[in-house]
Amino acid sequence: MSAIDDARGLLAGLGAGDPLGVWSSAGRANLIGEHTDYNEGFVLPFAIDRRTYAAVAERSDRMIRVASTFDPDPVEVDSAALAELFAGEPGAAVARGDVPEWAAYPLGVAWAALRGKPAPRGLDIAIASDVPVGAGLSSSAAIEGAAAAAFDELWSLGLAPIDQAKVGRTAENEAVGAPTGIMDQVSSIMGRTDAATFLDCRTLDVESVDLGFAREGLEVLVMDTRVAHSHATGGYRDRRDACERAAAAMGVPALRDVAVSDLDRAAELLDEVTFRRAKHIVTENARVLDTVRALRESGPRAIGELLLASHASMRDDFEISVPELDLAVDTAMSAGAIGARMTGGGFGGAAIALVEHDLVDEVCVGVTGAFEEAGYGEPRTFTVHPSDGAHRDA
Ligand code: GLA
């Protein structure tokens, strides 16, 4: 059964009222521009052909009930009580056990979209997804995007796509408590077929950049290491703090304002580790701009070196890679990939490789074999295609 049918089936099983429709949003892979979003820099992700669906039905009261194929128990909240539920420290409701983490995504979107007002109408929402969870492909942003699109229409909120993305980020930062940037939500909601979303995370200007993968006979292979990660805790927050410290020491609002030519000065001002964190962000911003230029002027075969340089910077300077991701990248390159890099927040999850269509099988076999030899768990490999963002499906 497809994920859209799963969502419909789950909704029917709730004994819900009349179905109002199905909305969905995409997972995403980031082509380049990692951890640059919360530094007000540049990112170049694309929405993928793995989606999360929200099937929604009418209620006669003002309750919001969410159900998911991840959890047998639906969660029901009075929409007028959302503000109280999510008051206090970021993520407090989840930490207290008042709401399971998965439900904090759609309920957090409802809370952020309603801004303290009760819902104009209560809703039952059933969620199903074929975005792999924990692979660094933004299964969470896909839930947020599907929920935001549904609420926008059903509550007549008049939110532009970029505002739906902001609502998703607020849900993630405040309700779930993960201090992430806005890349995933913008990519999930505003993606286009065969294109990447070039986002300036300071101005929130979005441009579509033609990728031409299909035309050129290229595939993006995801190599999911299945090493688990979480952005609500630990390393992600730590890197964000280091970036903020570096910007403050450099006397700028964000590392976006530091140029590659300022790095000598940064080396004098910052301790060795903080300098390397800042260096990753500064050089990564430059690589995003170079990648956009290369795609526009020369096409996708010209971006391999930039992808590799990005991975090296994350491995050596930002230190967010893990041995499994490095092995996936190195093996894909030895098997003939054009370029490869880890994608997403790091500390686990997936790497992507840009591969000639005819070489995909060889790269998959190579990576799986290398993992076996290294004694790592079996990776999951599959291709993804740049796809459309959020929309109504039915
Ligand atoms: C996660 C976050 C994003 C971004 C990436 C790293 O996916 O949700 O906001 O910071 O990590 O680029």
Burial class (CB in 10 A: 0-12, 13-18, 19+), 327: buried
The answer, yes or no, to whether any atom of ligand 1 lies below 6 A from the CB of 122, is no
User: pLDDT class for 176, splitting at 50, 70, 90?
Assistant: very high
DSSP per-residue codes, 305-338: HHHHHHHHHHHHTS----HHHHHHHHHHHHTT-S
pLDDT digits (tens, 9 = 90+) for 56-94: 999 999 999 999 998 989 999 999 999 999 999 999 999
Q: Give the closest residue to 384 by CA, choosing from 362, 351, 358.
A: 351
* Res. 231: pLDDT tops 80: no
pLDDT digits (tens, 9 = 90+) for 271-321: 999 999 999 999 999 999 999 999 999 999 999 999 999 999 999 999 999
Q: Evaluate the CA torsion angle 270, 275, 277, 281 in order and state its sign.
A: positive
User: pLDDT class for 229, splitting at 50, 70, 90?
Assistant: confident
Taken in order of first residue, the domains within the chain and their CATH numbers are: 3-210 (3.30.230.10), 213-384 (3.30.70.890)
Query: What is Dmax (Cα atoms) for the chain?
Result: 65
- Average pLDDT for 28-41: 98
Q: Which residue has the higher pLDDT, 241 or 229?
A: 241
Atom nearest to 37 CA in ligand 1? 10
3-state secondary structure of 239: helix
Atom nearest to 141 CA in ligand 1? 8
Nearest CA to ligand 1 atom 2: 180
**H/E run at residue 292:** helix 272-298
Residue 184 annotated among the catalytic residues of the structure: yes
Q: Which of 37, 124, 152, 184 is catalytic?
A: 184
DSSP per-residue codes, 80-117: GGHHHHT-SSTTHHHHHTSS-HHHHHHHHHHHHHHTTS
Distance 30 CA to ligand 1 centre (A): 9
Burial class (CB in 10 A: 0-12, 13-18, 19+), 345: buried
Share of residues in the chain with pLDDT > 90 (%):
94
- Average pLDDT for 384-391: 98
349 phi and psi, to 5 degrees?
80, -145
* Res. 117: pLDDT tops 90: no
